Amino acid sequence: MSDVVDWTHLAQPIQDQGNCGSCRAFGLTGVMEALYFQKYGKQVKLSERDLFFCAGGTCDTGLEMEEPLDYVKEHGVATEECCPYGDTINGIDHKCGDGKCIEWWVDGVKIASWHKLNTQEEVDAAFREGPVDMAMAVPQSFINYTGGVYHSLGWFDMIVGYHCIGGFARNFTEKWDEIRNSWAAQGWGEKSLSDHIPGEEGWARVKNDDAKLELEYYKVVINGPIPEPEPEPTPSDCTRGNTIAKVMNFIPWLLRRKGRFYYLNPR
């Protein structure tokens, strides 16, 4: 019998990042939402737009893995109701704080800590405790995935980008992870094996011993609501970091090396 841990019952419905390289925000908020539900027994829908743009992302450059983790540890993230994704789905950039409710911290959420998981033993232990923040290389064949346990097709299966997702289940015997993607709930992927949301696609099982996928894992510890800021809160500099982010992300693009963690919705 296979040894499996399954946290998909904690997940919010599948989202669609649209024509914006904002997968980093979708992957992280999805895991935070699940961990919040696990810890406090109530659901919260967090704002990908708030996290993405306030952490320095743009739809063209995306975001690296670790800067957003530092951001939500220090500042937290607002709810979707407070700061809706809106026309970001069409690739429209926004300044941090634009369209965000004034008392955004009231229902917002922070993390207490995070760390990168460097060994298989650490990853296994993290999955036994809850959902895990993840990143992966995207071979061309992954774009056409429709179901089953995914693995790359060898040296000719070109890497077309890097992607951020949430890991919600692990089969320790068959060596695959079930991931929650952000390419919409229909037209890509498979239904979750737990079938907790009937009819919803957008999930995938990926081999976790496929070296070409370059899987990375991060453990996140949720910290609950954000204390009221003192002194009276003001929106952060909406443009801070965006120019630097563009430059820093353009360099690895030129060098074609790992580091540009985003992938636009291929549809």
Write the CA distances from 212 to 125, 127, 216, 241, integer angstroms.
Answer: 23, 21, 12, 31
Would 127 be classed as within a structural domain?
yes
Predicted confidence pLDDT, tens digits, the chain (267 residues): 569 999 999 999 999 999 999 999 999 999 999 999 999 999 999 999 999 999 999 999 999 999 999 999 999 999 999 999 999 999 999 999 998 999 999 999 999 999 999 999 999 999 999 999 999 999 999 999 999 999 999 989 999 999 999 999 999 999 999 999 999 988 899 998 876 666 789 999 999 999 999 999 999 999 988 888 765 545 544 444 445 444 444 444 444 443 444 544 545
Is 262 inside a domain boundary? Answer: no
Q: Give domain status of residue 22, yes or no.
A: yes
How many CB atoms lie under 10 A from the CB of residue 1? 4
Structure tokens that stand for 259 in this block: 């580091």
The answer to whether residue 264 is domain-embedded is: no
User: Cβ-count burial of 255 within 10 angstroms (0-12 exposed, 13-18 middle, 19+ buried)?
Assistant: exposed
Q: Would you say residue 246 lies in a domain?
A: yes
Query: In terms of pTM, does the model score above 0.75?
Result: yes
Calpha distance 56→205 (Å, rounded):
30
Q: With respect to residue 228, please indicate whether it lies within any of the assigned structural domains.
A: yes
Nearest Cα neighbor of 216 from 119, 128, 72 is 119
Say how many domains are in the chain.
Answer: 1
- Contacts for 252-258: CB closer than 8 Å, 24+ residues apart: 258/137, 258/162, 258/214
CATH number at residue 141: 3.90.70.10
Q: Is 202 left (phi over 0), alpha (psi -120 to 50) or beta?
A: left
Please check whether residue 61 is in contact with residue 245, taking contact to mean a CB–CB distance below 8 angstroms: yes
In a domain, 266, yes or no: no
What letters, b where the CB count within 10 A reaches 16 and e where it falls short, cover 169-191? bbbeeeebbbbbbbbbbeebbbb
206 part of a folded domain = yes
- Terminus-to-terminus CA distance in the chain, angstroms? 38
Domain span at residue 8 reads: 4-255
